[in-house]
Structure 1
């Protein structure tokens, strides 16, 4: 039986609007009143030898460290957004590098038993590749978090050259999430007054051309709608994309983005919220607000999810946790990395079978801003599918 939970109207800030929607479609979302509680895996145990605190029955391992050999390459600095892709009897984890000028994407291929087969670069020479998103046609969209940044479409399998996709807009990109039902890609923007966008390609599966829209408030202030961005390329001396449409809805620091069953979830670190855009009803609500519970989940950032409706939200700072938000509206820690107080959790992604969770501590124990102390982990355990 499908549960249905109505989201509390989200406070939108000065000059904006608050709207809500019934977003519980096939266990697709949690209540806006999501609060700390007993998670499905139980409490975290003391940290293991890798400094990772996990529930009973879960184990961790370090798969890569910045500047050290893994699978035939040196792992990149400042590991950020990531995703997993199936590959025969194994799988691939891709990871962005949020370094200026020498950023890009690296990939690790794992064998069926979880051992590292090889590693390789799929994009290089770009700037501050932060988050991104996987496509249904098995490519990885790597997003530059810089002024007039680009989206690069990369091949996780390393067979084809990466291609810039300027039609998806030139702005401070953060994350992307594909909606195969409406054949659009949602995009977040990491600015204090950033926007939430959708890109509709002329042909699904080809991101070389299409229309960029921005989420707007309707004239009566009671709903949201999409309006075309006049100049997605954002000419240097012209207005930037977020300032081109007067009715655009602004968000405080857009971060992670995840689509599931008609709903696109995205996070805003400036106000500690997890949002839910119901694409079927074209309504906007929140599933979590840090200010409502004292910030148990602090510094919301990258987000991923499962087919069963669980969301996994990583912290930028806070106490370096990945928290689950269950369809029942419970927020609980699943992973905590101790001793990395000046770092952030990045790139959470599940292996294709759902049994392994990959993520990184971007700056590691040293917290060095150049990201040369990054650590990429794997956690195995009885994750809900």
Structure 2
């Protein structure tokens, strides 16, 4: 996600699959989310790391681009972007993409039960502009190339198995991925101004080497019903995938994507929206739209990566805006959670919760320098609600 000057907002995904779906479904059906007081109160003054947090929360710097991670020998990659957490015995692992071209890829940091860094290493190399991605139910990382006819790569967060290219998942400007174990599908966003939403149906669940790529078909309205249609040529040449199926619905710059409880949420940066798919009813609608905010200024602008907490709260990282992570509650209230100061030429990305839900990781892609070599990865600890 390069710097965006015309962005208008979004949200979602971790291992917390037990989302507050019933509340979310009702809130989104009633009206898109509106500003209000957040569950933790407003962010306070900046701490020594330049992070403004609600009372009771603290931050620490986990890694900086170009510097060794903790006492390990691994040098943290430039332009850290999309990320996810994985359980690892009594500890956990945080995976982070590198959005540079060439030589993107992804790296990982290993933590013990107390949160101390015990290792860091590369899990994917030699790829291009790895932006967002997604976690699979079988604990691999899908790293997505945000370039024309880019690939999805399946990488091992534990650093044991070599990463594998997955061309059957389509060649287009990939952004994020979200796995649905019920329908055995992986949903994929496309970062184009006239992009589409796709799903990949593997021939065998847990094996992404072959399957069918489909595109969502729907009308031009912001709500309604939808269907899926096969993409004839997932390779995208000579005709790009988004132009192969008549009636494919267009979305203005696909970003984050998350699945939980028969629902997919995904965001679009060009119109600052969070969309919701009800997979049981085969309907779609808006869960947030900054142009529909009433009674004040929209708190969420510049949508980017998204994640969710066990409480059902959705956390949205801003590329632009006020360099905030905003949250949207299951009751439909949107509010800032944290703000990073002194880094207006950067973007926030890679939000992900530790498996126990007590720590939130994220990165400032270009840090205080405004350069890909200035990335900073943070951890926030505090009384996150269950």
Query: 1:335 matched to which residue of 2?
Result: 338
For residue 241 of structure 1, what is the aligned residue in structure 2? Answer: 241
Q: Count matched residues.
A: 359
User: With structure 1 as the length reference, what TM-score do the two structures score?
Assistant: 0.91
Q: For 1:252 and 1:380, how far apart are their aligned partners in 2? A: 34
How much does 1:367 deviate? Answer: 1.2
**2:352 alignment partner, one of 346, 349, 354:** 349
Report the alpha carbon displacement of residue 33 of structure 1 after superposing the two structures with TM.
Answer: 2.8
- Contact 1:150–1:170 at 8 Å: present in 2 too? yes
- Name the structure 2 match of 1:16: none
Residue 296 (structure 2) pairs with residue 296 (structure 1): no
| Alignment match, 1:266 | 266
Contact 1:198 1:214 in 2 (8 A): yes
- Name the structure 1 match of 2:56: 57
The Cα offsets for residues 58-96 of structure 1, whole Å up to 9 and x where unpaired, read as 000000000000132110000000000000011000000
Provide the secondary structure at the position in 2 that maps to 1:372: helix
Would the aligned equivalents of 1:67 and 1:372 in 2 still touch at CA under 8 Å?
yes
For 1:133, what is the secondary structure of its paired residue? strand
Aligned to 2:320: 317
Are residues 1:26 and 2:22 paired?
Answer: yes
Residues 316-354 of structure 1 deviation map (CA, whole Å, 9 limit, x = unaligned):
111000011001111011111011101111000000000
Superposed CA RMSD in Å reads: 1.6
* 1:360 corresponds to which of 360, 363, 378: 363
Equivalent residue number for residue 379 of structure 1: 380
Matching residue of 1:190:
191
**Which position in structure 1 is the counterpart of 2:283?**
283
| SS of residue paired to 2:22 | coil
1:77–1:374 Cα contact (<8 Å) kept = yes
Higher relative contact order (CA 8 A, sep 6+): 2
Decide which moves more: 304-313 or 190-199: 304-313
Are 1:218 and 1:225, in contact at CA under 8 Å, matched by a contact in 2? no
Question: Is contact 2:224-2:285 (8 Å) kept?
Answer: no
Matches of 1:110 and 1:119, distance apart in 2: 9
Q: Residues of 2 paired with 1:75 and 1:296: CA distance?
A: 32
Counterpart for residue 97 of structure 1: 98
Write out aligned runs for 1:50-199 (5 A): 50-70=49-69, 71-199=72-200
Report the secondary structure of 2:125's partner residue: strand
8 Å Cα contact 2:81/2:99 also seen in 1: yes
Deviation string, structure 1 residues 258-281 (Cα, Å, up to 9, x no partner):
111111100000000001111111
Q: Is the 8 A contact 2:130 2:143 kept in 1?
A: yes
Corresponding position of 2:5: none
In 1: Cα distance, 2:165 partner to 2:23 partner: 35
Distance 2:173 2:207 in 1: 22
Q: Displacement, 1:296?
A: 1.7
Partner of 1:47: 46
Q: Deviations over 1:236-265 (max 9, x none)?
A: xx1100010111000000000111111110
